[in-house]
Amino acid sequence: MTRLLIDAGNTNIKLAWVNDDNWSPVVSLPSNHACELGGYFSEYCGGPVQQVWVSNVAGAEVARQISDACAVRHWSLQFIGAATRQCGVHNGYELPEQLGSDRWAALIAAWHHVGAACLVVNSGTATTIDALSDSGDFIGGLILPGIALMRSSLMDATALLEAQRGDYVAFPHNTSDALFSGAIQASCGAVERQHALLDAAAPVLLSGGAAHLLMPHLTLQVEKMDNLVLQGLLLIAREIDK
């Protein structure tokens, strides 16, 4: 069976075709170019698709464009949402359905990979830091601005700050480095504080477009795992199909 997996995030839409256990290379396009999905389907899909599974946190218009592009091809389409329990993970959110589908899929992928307590960090437009217990319970998590968003929000709100890239420096001597280093330190500090609250032995799984920026500065046992949301989508699809 060939499944198309779609992770529609705030910044990018990621696509992967999976035939049994064989994955195509993951491709992406900006979420504000979702109208171009049909062209991506034609270019990268090597054959018929039996199912399309989607995690969408990019809003109703992106959902509509995904639906339209799949409908033209008569592909079976399923948008996922967080459940109370799925694939061995119990959702501890007060209102389970309000947990983002991307966070839910990533938690499921992390549980499948580790099978024990861990911290699941996805660093993109936002940084999410979610905790799993040894029994597969999602016990809660944080959402904070991603690195780029931290910098841009300060520059937008402060008249004299200029939009320059900056580098990481422990004790910055210029404003650009201070902005970038502050965003790195704030993100790493949040990860390390949550880890201390969880379990000193728990691994950290790190994913997302800005993972490479955080990885060198975390003083924890960290495993970088690309495309956790897509991996979780496949696990959800397989469980529902049983």
List the catalytic residues. Answer: 102
Please list, residue by residue across 54-74, b when 16 or more beta carbons sit within 10 angstroms of its beta carbon and e when fewer do: bbbbbeeebbebbbebbeeee
211 vs 205: CA distance, rounded Å? 10
170 vs 38: CA distance, rounded Å? 46
State both tokens at 207: 């994913």
Q: What sign has the CA pseudo-torsion 169, 174, 180, 184?
A: positive
State both tokens at 216: 């060198």
Between the two ends of the chain, the Cα-to-Cα distance in Å is 13
Beta-carbon count within 10 A of 35 CB = 13
Residue pair 224/206 in contact (Cβ under 8 Å)? The answer is yes
233 vs 229: CA distance, rounded Å? 6
Burial of 5 (0-12, 13-18, 19+ CB in 10 A): buried
State both tokens at 16: 């992967």
State both tokens at 191: 């990860």
